Structure 1
Amino acid sequence: MARILFGKTLLSISIATVVSACSPQPSATAPQSVGSNDSSIANLSVSNPSTFARKEQNLLLPFSDLGVTASQAQALVALEGGNTVPSQLIDHNGDGNKDSLLLQFDFAAVETKQLQILNDTALFNAQQLTKHTQAEISYKTGGQWQDSKYIGGEFQNVTELTPPAQYTDHSEWIRYEGPGIESDKVGYRIYLDWRNGFDVFGNKTGKPVLHQVGLDGYKSYHEMADWGMDLLKVGKSLGAGGFGYWDGDKVQLVSTVSGHTAKVIENGAVYSALQIQYKDWQIAGKTTNLTANLSMTAGSRLVHTRLSLTEPLDNIAIGLVRLPNTQVLHGKSEVTGHSWTYLATWGEQTLTGGNDKLGMAILYKRGANKQLTGDENSHVAVMTPSGTELEYYFLSAWDGEPGGIKTEAEFVEYLEQEVEKLTLTPRLSLKTALSEQQKAGALTADVALNWSERLAASEMVRQTPYYAYGGWDYERQRPSKWEYTTGLQLQAYDDLLKVKPNAQWQQVLTDVIDSFITSDGDIRTYKLSNHNIDSLNTGNMLLREYQRNPKPEYKQALDLLRKQLAEHPRTSEGAFWHKQIYPHQLWLDGVYMGMPFLANYSKAFEQGHAFDEVVKEFTISRDKLRDLNTGLYYHAWDEAREQDWADKNTGLASQFWGRGLGWLAMALVDVLEIIPADQTALRQPLLDMTAELAEALVKVQHDNGTWYQILDKPNAPGNYLESSASGMFTYFFAKGVNNGYLDARYKATAVKAYEGLVNEFILVHPDNSISLVNTCQVAGLGFGRDGSYHYYMSEPVFRNDAKANGPFIMAGVQIAKLLGTN
């Protein structure tokens, strides 16, 4: 805890100090013009990654990303070709304060739109938006309680309601028994009592109807009306997407609580949201508070559901009522863990008395799902929250709505498109006035170091101290572990601190590494028998710590990592498998994860006896993975030709993945720095590979200096300029020129790459922190990852990821060295 508090304290000092020490602009404060009329604050390029049209696509832009504070963001509007785009200022996190701009527009297939964001009072006030969403809660006043039933009175709408202790089901105090939320497609009510069921209001009008529902009594909405009716018999089930706890046999509803509070967070034309607080839920031997944030957008049937607990609780149950005469439908399970999929039902499951059809579904990330099961009341997906958070969607589609879905086949097609829309998010390039102001001016050595320091300062608050054992990895949403991302980010800091010393930051690095090493030289969370080559990368930082402070336990831990390589399984020619669970496979990633560590260890403790093993790993990689036509390297090779991603003849993966090749590029220049210059025979194959790779990379470099997620397919749907690969290649070119591994003509390539890296991916926030955006969060092969182009598009596009942060910081150090030699 002391480490984390230290890291928290650091930010207010660090960012201000870094910015004032060497700012790339005259002033590091937010532009003074923001907030005035006719003030352009951002330009946005946004692309549809799908080959189908997306109607009413939503796009959420936090104020901080736009470079403005909440107080400045009073009149934000978006223009496309001079026309305003439907939008709404919203409170997305549910804390009572506006924090984001929500845009909505129609996308043609693979379309790119150019939008301008302004803070313009006249345009903002001139917007005339038809109301397409609604959230409400209404209860009776003027009557009286008789035991648990409320007699008499009239309904009034409120924005917040906490029922009294005597309130229960069928009390007829809350209109339609709970809060409601809807779009112009469908409405839902959430029982604000022990049932916590989710019910569906079918809508025949194509516009919001909740304000009409139940005004004339509890029973009226159970009969067909001009607006529609209550469609679903919920009973003791989860209803149309509710949540509870799976005890191993059945669902435990959110019933045993000390109270409920429902709030209307937003009730707007484009977006409406509810928040329900469940106090002191007694479940699984724990007492936890549960907050559910529920939101809908215009034209959508989906309810975005975000659950937050005060105590960790596994086995959250989400699901659908089990009814006869229905077909159970499942989305794809052989997909990456970050991809969305679904559990759905279709059939004659309404209360209308006819043969009309209703489809219901829950949409969730495949990796969060522990099992699909059920009890006598509900079909259930058992979920593992990320710490104390769980996100999912639920939806209903009634064939009685205007233009409704009529068949099971149409419903499945609709679901498949919805999960793709969630998985393949729009591709963004955002240029804000604040960011552009701070990027203005010539690139110098000091400017490059300043950007590295600013990202390091920002990460000192967001993540770095939390990498310590017992901390939380916010990128992966799990407890911190001994893994390669930790080592990469810490090594980047260490590189920076060699030229810009900072005793506080250096102590954080030591604290993080030290937290994993036990007194007897074991490494917490590390398991040698996994033979995971990724686990070795942080050994480089451990070695640096040992060389500064040669504790015996550090050496024992280093020996343990070296032992892994001595026992590590290999291909028939001697290349290291990527992991025990990835047999016979050589991945580009693994060359970086293992070879710099092996070279460093061998130089420090073995007189370099393992250098030939290190070089052999590179030469086998070249032989097996390099494409002769392009000079690029495929992501991986399966010697056994058994994996579904591997070509049955060659064993090769099918794509040139940017970061995969970035790992190899960094490994080349890092290992060349370790093997002494007089060992010319060992170094020559690496020098040859470095020259070849530089030539190949220049051919696929974008005009702005950066590189694509899939290197050779710039025009393919969904492909995007990617920050981690771009940072790695920048580091490769700059370090290659600095150390004489590359011809001096590549200096211009390195500078162009770095300028593109900053211009394309750095976002400045109003508090002077910065973010590095458009990073592929993770990519791999096997276990639902088929290695196709579509797969690499399906992984989340993330920000402030160590796999991009580290190379960016290190690239800035190398560029500073490159420019400092003028």
Structure 2
Amino acid sequence: MKYTLLAWLGLIGQIWAHPAEKEIVFVAANPLKSVRSFETIELDWKELSARLPGVQPDRFFLKDLNTGKLVVTQILDADADGRPDQLLFQSDFGKDDPLKTFRLAMTSTPPGRSSGRLYGRFVPERKDDFAWENDRIAFRMYGPALEAEMISSGIDVWTKRVPYPIIDKWYAAGDASYHRDSGEGLDFYNVGSSRGCGGTGIWDGQSLHVSRNFKSYRCIAGGPIRLVFELRYDPWTIAGDTISEVKRISLDAGHQFNRIESIYQSTRSLPISFAAGVAKHPDWQAAVAFSREHGWLSRWESRDDFGALGCAVILDPNALVDFYEQDMNHLIVGKATPAQAVRYYAGAGWDRSGYFNHREEWEAYVDLYAQAVQTPIQITYLTSASLRQKPKAESWAHIVARSIIQTYPNPADLDVYGKGWTYTNGFFLHGLYRLQQKEPNQEYLRYIQKWLDRYIDHDGRLISSEYKMDEYKLDDVEAGKIALLMYQRTGDTRYRRACEQLVEQLQKQPRTTEGGYWHKLVYPWQMWLDGIYMADAFLLQYAAAVQQPNWTDEAIRQIKLITAHTLDGKTGLYYHGWDEKKNPVWADPLTGASPGIWGRALGWFAMALVDGLDELDAHHPQRPQLLQILSKLSAALVTYQDPETGLWYQVVDRGDHTANWHETSCSAMFSYALARSVHQGYLPKKYLKNAEKAFQGLCRHHVYFDEQGLFYLTGTVKVGTLNFASSQGDFEYYVNTDRRINDFKGVAAFLFAALELNR
């Protein structure tokens, strides 16, 4: 992408002052296209206090809005002046989940504390060691009492198999015990006078000048997210220059690397070169690797008796001077300015810890860690639309379109959760097309056309890298709707030929014995409500556009089949799916239906009915039956609308359960379907109130603006599947599925609803 993730570009016309907030909502964005686990996020406490006046360090909670769970936090007093400086917490970012949303709010009850993953202390009983550990690895450095036997400012490594603290236990058992592995790990690393795993020195171009053992220590923070302490070293002389060092070491839970900040003082106050090193053990088998691009050096050493250990140091590539090799160390050399902290990272990984099986896995971890520390998580603070009103002259639909286009100026980048010929991108562009019909704008048409031309070649074929017919995914058909609309608009026959390719897929689509489409080839004998919107709404549109009524009949046949097998007679709603073979994982042994009534599946189905009726001839003999299905479904839906918020729940019929939550994509879909049905004469006018109430609830509870006035929608469930491997299709599965911010399944549905309600 040519833009920085979440560096949103547009302005609404002015930046409003922050109104008084009762909470802080913010987005954490991962700019890397890679997994980041146990990523530590740092928030400035002064900024939080300014945004939420009155917040106290022991009177707040932080909730992950993706999961709905409370987050463990740590207040860090980095300068030990008795006042908080940072709020720390951790989160995981998946490859296809680069955005996480959080809510910080005040509470009268102190939050619970978590402990046990970090530990460190001065160890006077073992000649003044300082030892520290997390749930993965342990380290130690040597203090003044050991100088009579050994002078070393190198870093020692203790390998671990277990997540719990072992330092006190091992020291209590004595040196001999922790030099053998009794199931928890061991100390087999040899430091001596080398740099060990990340010790430093001053580099004069030919030689490394190192300090003695640390002189004193200071503990700053003990977790649960980050352990922080300082070690001070007596001055030493290099060619007439007196150097002293204070080393601040931080270790985060779940990490292999220490963050180390060294502050050097020099009597000459001239720029100096420092070096961080990794020890060489001549009697161990070793392999060395380094990356100048990402600024790291690694040595992977193995011993037949204890396994293999990787040690690495990471330095900002902009500060990196060169790599050197000495008799005892491999060095990474960087620039340092006296009295200013120079930051680097040092860590280790053992092939018997359970995290790394071989050298390649270790080096991949090092490289990714180096990229991560150089590419921090980006924070964007949001303001609720209930506090920050939109400009009166701008419609909600226009705000959504403008925000998305400014976020993704190149439509090939749609969207952050997955590029390509996807139903989500097609769904949004369909909404954008409807907006330009209401508010003519050539920019919108060019945007849509540019996206289509990215995936449809000059012969009108969908490019094979994006579309694979032989996978028979009904989801892939949905984007054909926008291609068909653009064919009707422009007359470009390439778009029609692409639609014909999708129709060809449906001709060949695997079917149940009654003729119902399998949702995908990998889900044999299964029909899902989702598929009616993905494929059959397209078929009805296609049949009307090219005057092929046989496809109208086929689409209606699919609708009648799914309703026959998924209708719940008790609620009047429909189950997510049906399996003809009645699989033992989720299918009802008598009916074959799945057990849960999932909101978005119903939302897709309701939209398909309404959009399908729009394409159906007024005198079609099956029209009354479709109208009846829509009428009964709508009557059932409004009985489950939350009277307080106007929204619907993730599991529609279980709003009384405390684990359930309001889901925004289905709420927007129902709002659209009800409003459209009233305007088209399919439903009585009374349903318009339900549609309006739902839209108002979305704006009040789930719509936000950033400081540039761009639109955000929270609370859209990531996915709902009936895949045997990950879902039982029941209540527990649906309510424990993550939510997302600005997921197109919610954003596009909101756009459809805004257009239909003239909002």
TM-score by length of 2: 0.61
| Residue identity opposite 2:386 in structure 1 | E
Please give the residue correspondences for 1:270-419 in structure 2 after superposition, counting only pairs within 5 Å.
Answer: 270-272=224-226, 295-296=252-253
In 2: Cα distance, 1:783 partner to 1:750 partner? 35
The counterpart of 2:611, out of the listed 641, 653, 670, is: 670
Tell me the equivalent position of 2:443. Answer: 504
| Residue identity opposite 1:12 in structure 2 | L
Instruction: Confirm whether residue 732 of structure 1 aligns to residue 679 of structure 2.
Output: no
In 2: Cα distance, 1:460 partner to 1:449 partner? 16
Please give the residue correspondences for 1:145-544 in structure 2 after superposition, counting only pairs within 5 Å.
Answer: 173-174=152-153, 176-177=155-156, 201-202=165-166, 232-233=185-186, 267=221, 270-272=224-226, 295-296=252-253, 434-439=384-389, 450-462=395-407, 464=408, 468=412, 471=413, 473-476=415-418, 480-524=419-463, 525-544=466-485
The counterpart of 2:637, out of the listed 673, 697, 701, is: 697
Going from structure 1 to structure 2, the CA distance change for 1:467 and 1:771 (only over 3 Å counts) comes to: same
Do the aligned residues in 2 keep the contact of 1:61 with 1:102 (CA within 8 Å)? Answer: yes
Q: Secondary structure at the match of 1:685?
A: helix
In 2: Cα distance, 1:536 partner to 1:98 partner? 52
In 2: Cα distance, 1:516 partner to 1:669 partner? 28
Tell me the equivalent position of 2:717. Answer: 776
The counterpart of 1:117, out of the listed 105, 112, 121, is: 105
- List per-residue Cα deviations over 1:98-157 (Å, max 9, x = no partner): 8967599xxxxxxxxxx98369xxx9xx9999998869999xxxxxxxxxxxxx999999
Tell me the equivalent position of 1:77. Answer: 56
Going from structure 1 to structure 2, the CA distance change for 1:546 and 1:716 (only over 3 Å counts) comes to: same
Going from structure 1 to structure 2, the CA distance change for 1:381 and 1:766 (only over 3 Å counts) comes to: farther
| Residue identity opposite 1:755 in structure 2 | Q
Q: Secondary structure at the match of 2:481?
A: helix
Going from structure 1 to structure 2, the CA distance change for 1:153 and 1:552 (only over 3 Å counts) comes to: same
Going from structure 1 to structure 2, the CA distance change for 1:646 and 1:129 (only over 3 Å counts) comes to: closer
Displacement of 1:720 in angstroms is 1.1
In 1: Cα distance, 2:552 partner to 2:159 partner? 67
Displacement of 1:572 in angstroms is 2.4
Going from structure 1 to structure 2, the CA distance change for 1:607 and 1:306 (only over 3 Å counts) comes to: farther
Of 492-501 and 724-733, more deviation after overlay is shown by 492-501
Displacement of 1:574 in angstroms is 2.3
**Structure 2 portions without partners, runs of 5+:** 27-37, 62-70, 78-83, 92-102, 133-149, 190-217, 229-249, 260-290, 295-302, 307-349, 371-380
In 2: Cα distance, 1:659 partner to 1:641 partner? 23
RMSD, aligned CA:
5.4
In 2: Cα distance, 1:563 partner to 1:379 partner? 47
In 2: Cα distance, 1:449 partner to 1:584 partner? 47
The counterpart of 1:679, out of the listed 619, 622, 626, is: 619
Going from structure 1 to structure 2, the CA distance change for 1:434 and 1:802 (only over 3 Å counts) comes to: closer
Displacement of 1:789 in angstroms is 1.9
In 2: Cα distance, 1:803 partner to 1:465 partner? 20
Tell me the equivalent position of 1:620. Answer: 561
In 2: Cα distance, 1:498 partner to 1:60 partner? 46
| Residue identity opposite 2:608 in structure 1 | A
In 2: Cα distance, 1:575 partner to 1:62 partner? 52
Do the aligned residues in 2 keep the contact of 1:42 with 1:118 (CA within 8 Å)? Answer: no
In 2: Cα distance, 1:559 partner to 1:130 partner? 58
In 1: Cα distance, 2:737 partner to 2:116 partner? 32
Do the aligned residues in 1 keep the contact of 2:162 with 2:184 (CA within 8 Å)? Answer: no
Q: Secondary structure at the match of 1:615?
A: helix
| Residue identity opposite 1:177 in structure 2 | D
Displacement of 1:6 in angstroms is 8.5
Displacement of 1:656 in angstroms is 0.4
| Residue identity opposite 2:9 in structure 1 | S
In 2: Cα distance, 1:569 partner to 1:310 partner? 52
Tell me the equivalent position of 2:511. Answer: 570
Do the aligned residues in 2 keep the contact of 1:200 with 1:230 (CA within 8 Å)? Answer: no
Displacement of 1:803 in angstroms is 1.0
In 2: Cα distance, 1:701 partner to 1:638 partner? 29
**Structure 1 portions without partners, runs of 5+:** 21-26, 35-39, 45-57, 92-96, 105-114, 139-151, 158-170, 179-187, 191-196, 237-263, 275-292, 297-301, 313-320, 325-373, 392-430, 441-445, 818-822
Displacement of 1:30 in angstroms is 3.6
Going from structure 1 to structure 2, the CA distance change for 1:447 and 1:641 (only over 3 Å counts) comes to: farther
In 1: Cα distance, 2:522 partner to 2:467 partner? 15
Displacement of 1:655 in angstroms is 0.7
Tell me the equivalent position of 2:734. Answer: 792
Q: In the comparison of the two structures, how many residue pairs are matched? A: 552
Do the aligned residues in 1 keep the contact of 2:383 with 2:704 (CA within 8 Å)? Answer: no
Going from structure 1 to structure 2, the CA distance change for 1:786 and 1:10 (only over 3 Å counts) comes to: closer
Tell me the equivalent position of 2:212. Answer: none
- List per-residue Cα deviations over 1:140-178 (Å, max 9, x = no partner): xxxxxxxxxxxx999999xxxxxxxxxxxxx97556436
In 1: Cα distance, 2:704 partner to 2:565 partner? 39
| Residue identity opposite 1:535 in structure 2 | D
In 2: Cα distance, 1:456 partner to 1:660 partner? 25
In 2: Cα distance, 1:652 partner to 1:67 partner? 54
Going from structure 1 to structure 2, the CA distance change for 1:129 and 1:199 (only over 3 Å counts) comes to: closer
Displacement of 1:71 in angstroms is 7.4
- List per-residue Cα deviations over 1:703-749 (Å, max 9, x = no partner): 21101111111233521111111111111111111211111011111
Instruction: Confirm whether residue 12 of structure 1 aligns to residue 5 of structure 2.
Output: no
- List per-residue Cα deviations over 1:513-556 (Å, max 9, x = no partner): 21011122221211111111110000001112222333332222
Do the aligned residues in 2 keep the contact of 1:577 with 1:583 (CA within 8 Å)? Answer: yes
Going from structure 1 to structure 2, the CA distance change for 1:605 and 1:12 (only over 3 Å counts) comes to: same
- Which protein shows a greater Rg? 2
In 1: Cα distance, 2:292 partner to 2:411 partner? 22
Going from structure 1 to structure 2, the CA distance change for 1:233 and 1:68 (only over 3 Å counts) comes to: closer
| Residue identity opposite 1:29 in structure 2 | W
In 2: Cα distance, 1:744 partner to 1:645 partner? 39
- List per-residue Cα deviations over 1:774-822 (Å, max 9, x = no partner): 12101111231221222223322222111111101111111117xxxxx
- List per-residue Cα deviations over 1:643-699 (Å, max 9, x = no partner): 5211121111001011111110110111111113x2242321111111101111011
| Residue identity opposite 2:404 in structure 1 | E
Q: Secondary structure at the match of 1:544?
A: helix
Going from structure 1 to structure 2, the CA distance change for 1:98 and 1:518 (only over 3 Å counts) comes to: farther
| Residue identity opposite 1:233 in structure 2 | L
Do the aligned residues in 1 keep the contact of 2:40 with 2:252 (CA within 8 Å)? Answer: no
| Residue identity opposite 1:232 in structure 2 | G
In 1: Cα distance, 2:258 partner to 2:757 partner? 43
Going from structure 1 to structure 2, the CA distance change for 1:322 and 1:765 (only over 3 Å counts) comes to: farther
Tell me the equivalent position of 1:370. Answer: none
Q: Secondary structure at the match of 1:436?
A: coil
Do the aligned residues in 2 keep the contact of 1:723 with 1:774 (CA within 8 Å)? Answer: yes
Displacement of 1:765 in angstroms is 2.6
Please give the residue correspondences for 1:739-818 in structure 2 after superposition, counting only pairs within 5 Å.
Answer: 739-784=680-725, 785-816=727-758
Displacement of 1:497 in angstroms is 2.7
The counterpart of 1:31, out of the listed 18, 24, 36, is: 18
In 2: Cα distance, 1:700 partner to 1:220 partner? 66
Instruction: Confirm whether residue 645 of structure 1 aligns to residue 645 of structure 2.
Output: no
| Residue identity opposite 1:77 in structure 2 | Q
The counterpart of 1:661, out of the listed 596, 599, 602, is: 602
